[in-house]
Amino acid sequence: MKTYTEIPFLLSKALLGTLSEEEERALQQWRDESPENEQLYESEMNTEYIVQKSHEVARVNIVNGYMNVLQKRKRNVRVRRVRRIVSIAAGVVLPLLAVVLWYGTREKIGDVSEQVTSVIRHGGVKAELVLADGTTRILGSEVTDSLLVQQGANIVVQNQGVSYRVDSSVVEERYNTLRVPRGGEYSITLSDGTIVYLNSESELRYPVNFVGRDRRVYLSGEAYFDVVQDEVHPFIVDMGNSSVRVLGTSFNVRAYADEDEVLTTLVQGTVKFSAGKESVTLEPGKQAVLGKSESIETREVDTYLYTAWKEGVFAFKKQRLEEIMKVVSRWYDVNIFWENVSQKEVTFTGKMKRYDDFSKIVEILEMTGNTEFVIKENNIFIREK
């Protein structure tokens, strides 16, 4: 491991392109030691930032100037595209790094580490399982191959989801609840073999063992269902004021309480969507929309746009930024503030990886127009450039 005083020297030579083979190996070793080191390396290679700050560095004490820049970045992280070549920035960054080398202490570099770890990161595999007796279990990707025993069922917990193995002779209907928080996703295999993928800020209430004519579950939030076919026992997803009835099919349901529409998107098979006295039967590629008027509208859609989240992708086509940020904020668990409401109407078409750091998401969105994102801790301020 390289010392704190050696790293600035290596970074300065990296900018100039004068690293020896041994120095390249040493710098790469330091970068591989932790994600924080890699993040610091990438930030120091951001030449536009360095050029932008060169003038204020020249006007103040160079040591305080450099540390103030780092502190300012901690409070107000902005993602910008690089418009200058490295050779322009090298003359600015070398004096700064030389000062850090001269005055380098653990405390000062500690400020950098704190700044790096404050970067907003993607969500992950996590959920809370509430058993029928009120007992709760926290589930996550680090939990592997464990077994929970419940009356009439064995619950197998693995790193990506939970599944049920039940005693078919049990006729008592007992309900469990799976809650996925903001910044989470999780999957569950129900007792009939149906697989449900739950998105962020969603909840599924379901019977440990299906009893009776219907296989009924209760959903709030968003989920993708891959339902095992059973013509005798229809599968019903209840969203409170609407429901989806199927025999065996794959579909996505989005029913967040803070959104104006309930969306059911059919991938394959057939479903019947109902709300009040009204109902529609969907074919693959069709979507049922229940809006504020409580009347059902059907649309022909690209189903991938509504199911890509299950594959680790955000996919949008001419989507309003306000709607995009609702999706993104749930996954990254951030708060959105609109300094210019006109930016809500900006549209975006493209794909982004859900498991990228938030900075990469912002970089892509900022490239679409005159929108600027200002990040302060987990609060995102959106305004016009």
In a domain, 14, yes or no: yes
3-state DSSP call for residue 161?
A: strand
Q: Are residues 317 and 300 in the same domain?
A: no
Q: Taking the complete model, does pTM exceed 0.85, yes or no?
A: no
Q: For residue 1, is it within any domain? A: no
* H helix intervals, 248-357: 304-307, 321-332
Residue range of the domain that includes 83: 6-117
On the question of pLDDT at 116 being above 50, the answer is: no
Alpha-carbon span 257 to 260, nearest angstrom = 8
Q: What whole-number distance in Å separates Cα of residue 23 and Cα of residue 19? A: 6
Residue 266 located in a structural domain = yes
Same domain, 66 and 155: no
Residues 264 and 159 grouped into a single domain: yes
Q: Which CATH number characterizes residue 239's domain?
A: 2.60.120.1440
Whether residue 169 lies inside any domain: the answer is yes
316 and 302 within one domain: no
pLDDT at 336: 95
Same domain assignment for residues 152 and 301: yes
Summarised one tens digit per residue, pLDDT across range 313-372 is 999 999 999 999 999 999 999 999 999 999 999 999 999 999 999 989 998 998 877 899
The two three-digit tokens of residue 136, written as one number: 């709760």
- pLDDT (tens digit, 9 = 90+) per residue, 257-299? 999 999 999 999 999 999 999 999 999 999 999 998 889 999 9
The strand order across the sheet containing 371-376 reads 335-338, 379-384, 371-376
Residue 265 and residue 245 in contact, taking contact as beta carbons nearer than 8 Å: no
| The domain boundary residue, chosen from 83, 102, 117 | 117
Are 372 and 254 within one domain? no
- Dist CA 20 CA 10 (whole Å): 10
Instruction: Tell me how many domains the chain contains.
Output: 3
Which of 279, 306, 333 corresponds to the end of one domain? 306
- Do 226 and 172 have their domain in common? yes
Does residue 72 surpass a pLDDT of 90?
Answer: no
End residue of a domain, out of 306, 336, 367 = 306
Same domain, 234 and 88: no
Looking at the fold, whether 64 and 169 belong to one and the same domain comes out as no
61 Rama sector, left if φ>0, alpha if ψ -120 to 50, beta otherwise: beta
Task: Please tell me whether residues 157 and 302 are part of one structural domain.
Answer: yes
**CB atoms inside a 10 Å sphere around CB 86:** 15
Cα–Cα dist 209/152, whole Å = 8
Higher pLDDT, 23 or 9: 23
What is the rounded distance in angstroms from the CA atom of residue 163 to the CA atom of residue 385?
49
Do residue 182 and residue 321 come from a single domain? no
Mean pLDDT (the chain) is 80
Look at residues 162, 160, 134 and name the one whose alpha carbon lies nearest to residue 147: 162
